[in-house]
Amino acid sequence: MGKPTGFLEYNRKDCPAYTVQERISNYNEFHTPLNEKEQKQQASRCMECGVPFCQSGMMIGGMMSGCPLNNLIPEWNDLLYRGAWELAYQRLKMTNNFPEFTSRVCPALCEKACTCGANGDAVTVRNNEYAIIEKAYAEGYAKASPPKVRTGKTVAVIGSGPSGLAAADQLNRRGHTVTVFERSDRIGGLLMYGIPNMKLEKTVIDRKIHIMQQEGIIFKTGVNVGKDVSAKEISEKYDRVILACGASNPRDINAVGRDAKGIYFAVDFLKSTTKALLDNGLQEGTYISAKDKNVMIIGGGDTGNDCVGTCVRHGAKSVVQLEMMPKLPDTRAENNPWPQWPRVCKTDYGQEEAIAVYGSDPRIYQTTVKEFLKNENGELTGAVLVSLKAEKDPVSGRLVMKETEGTERTVDVELVLIAAGFLGSENYITQAFEVETDNRTNVKTSPNSHQTNIENIFTAGDMHSGQSLVVRAIRDGRDCAKEVDLSLMGYTNL
């Protein structure tokens, strides 16, 4: 432990963000890193606890507590404090294939379980991770390290999201020849097109993919396996196949008037903005635009918030965000103690920006759409909203949200974005490989396994376990790679 009194001497200091007016003028990341002295001070706050809940990655109260990757957080915090940057990077890379991604987009489960946070402010773990990986790139030791020996075994990874990339990275390190297939025009999956540029600039992804190519991984874009190339051809050509296609089947809204023009899934909206930004600098007419429109976002999660921030940057006339559930408390409830994940109300960057631009929080709780209104041309003009209340289901005993009679009201809206989550994998790919799925359409495996019902076909990430976090997808990809390696070699050192 570098500085036993660090947590007493220094207060938490986060990387400062640009003002709302500065950051909504572009689509760039908007936090300024701390200087080296300040970052070392923040690392010194780590208490190197006897029981480091920050790296536990276990389920408590039905929610993940601590890092699912079991990152060696106290170790690299101590090394950062001592100025041993390269050693800190080596410890970080032992458990995390992509700290350049997680240090930007992870909700920092580690910090929510930090012992300092039990009675004060948690250690700035995510910012420390960011400092370590960016220093590694700046100093040149986050460079390609191709395997010295090849095994002669081949693996196809279908999907280039975080789980597919993690599995590919691990198996390539082992010496297997890995080919990653991506149906889109760019590598990255949800990292590329599901997360806005202001949270994860796409040059960060390209930088890492270039290194992975130098290490020997083959990437093939614009190839939709199951349509452009048959599953049979892939299965015959490669020794093993990993299905890592994500939970890309969006949940829809069943309401009268759903066929109105101007209603889109959030993932399509976000992709259109990012693709236009990369292809042509966001030229008008090349993306789904919210400019000068009254926008309604259905869904209160991270994707909904990303839509809010994107709409603000487009220049929307107004933005509201519907949330079916009641507002969470502002502080931990008694039945939600540390180190559980804090079920509290969080105002994220998009909501902060909407408050600053429009003068009020965009979120409307316990509300849903009863009907979409359209004109004679089928264009969306408004929506009928209705309030909801929680009632106990007499059969299951669970709380369900029921409409409250007499609370209907009409609002003007020209653009609706559905951010209600995902139902699971798309059936064309599971049917092509003839893998079994469960009642949530996730690919079925035995408990704690990634082997499907088809020999030599494995699965990882959201396609395996359902919609989740980037950090959990990376962990699942790593675990899948270990299982694939064992099946190929008869033993594994991953």
Q: Is residue 15 part of a domain?
A: yes
Q: Give the pLDDT band (50/70/90) at residue 393.
A: confident
Q: What is the pLDDT of residue 150?
A: 98
Clarify whether residues 428 and 287 are in a common domain.
Answer: no
The average confidence (pLDDT) of the chain is 96
pLDDT tens-digit readout, 67-89? 999 999 999 999 999 999 999 99
Instruction: Report if residue 1 sits inside a domain.
Output: no
In a domain, 415, yes or no: yes
Same domain, 458 and 405: no
Q: Residue 170 phi/psi, 5° resolution?
A: -65, -45
Domain that holds residue 400: 252-420
Q: Is residue 144 domain-resident?
A: no
Looking at the fold, whether 461 and 416 belong to one and the same domain comes out as no
Q: Tell whether 256 and 179 lie within a shared domain.
A: no
Chosen domain end from 139, 169, 201: 139
pLDDT higher than threshold 90 for residue 50:
no
Mean pLDDT to the nearest integer, 401-415 = 96
Are 199 and 286 in a shared domain?
A: no
* 178 is a domain residue: yes
CATH of the domain at 313: 3.50.50.60
Could you tell me the pLDDT band of residue 1, with boundaries at 50, 70 and 90?
low
pTM for the model: 0.96
- Report if residue 328 sits inside a domain: yes
pLDDT (average), residues 468-488: 97
With bands split at pLDDT 50, 70 and 90, how would you rate the model's confidence at 217? Answer: very high
Report the CATH number at residue 91. 1.10.1060.10
Q: Where is the domain boundary, 390, 420, 450?
A: 420
Identify the residue with better confidence: 61 or 443: 443
The residues that bridge with 388 in the sheet, in sequence order, are 403
477 and 453 belong to one structural domain: yes
Quick one: residue 108, left, alpha or beta (phi over 0 = left, psi -120 to 50 = alpha)? Answer: left
In this structure, of 35-44, 161-170, 245-254, 282-291, the range with the lowest mean pLDDT score is 245-254
Is the pLDDT at 111 greater than 90? The verdict is yes
Same domain for 242 and 256, yes or no, is no
Residues 240 and 368 in one domain: no
Per-residue pLDDT at 13 exceeds 90: yes
Please indicate, yes or no, whether residues 258 and 400 belong to a single structural domain of this protein. Answer: yes
Tell me the C-alpha distance between 8 and 115, whole Å.
13
Percent of the residues in the chain that have a pLDDT greater than 90, as a whole number: 93
Q: Distances in Å between the alpha carbon of 204 and those of 97, 98, 469? A: 14, 10, 19
What is the structure's pLDDT at 456? 97
Number of domains in the chain: 3
334-387: pLDDT as tens digits? 999 999 999 999 999 999 999 999 999 999 999 999 999 999 999 999 999 999
Same domain as 398, residue 295: yes
pLDDT (average), residues 380-406: 92
Give the domain-ending residue among 374, 400, 420. Answer: 420
Please give the average per-residue pLDDT across 269-273, as a whole number.
98
CB contact burial 399-416 (16+ within 10 A = b; e otherwise): eebeeeeeeeeeeebbbb
Q: Quick one: average pLDDT of 307-329?
A: 97
The mean pLDDT of 264-292, rounded to a whole number, is: 97
Are 131 and 177 in a shared domain? no
What average pLDDT score do residues 306-324 get?
Answer: 98
Q: Is the pLDDT of residue 55 over 90?
A: yes
Residue 176 scores a pLDDT above 90? yes
- Position 48 scores a pLDDT of 84
Residue 36 placed within a domain: yes
**Helices and strands (DSSP H and E) totals, the chain:** 18, 18
More confident residue, 224 or 62: 224
Q: Could you tell me if residue 145 is inside a domain?
A: no
- State pLDDT tens for residues 223-232: 999 999 999 9
Residue 284 has pLDDT above 90, yes or no: yes
Strand partners, 234: none
Mark whether 262 and 225 lie in a shared domain: no
Q: What is the DSSP string of 158-207?
A: E--SHHHHHHHHHHHHHT-EEEEEESSSSTTTHHHHTS-TTTS-HHHHHH
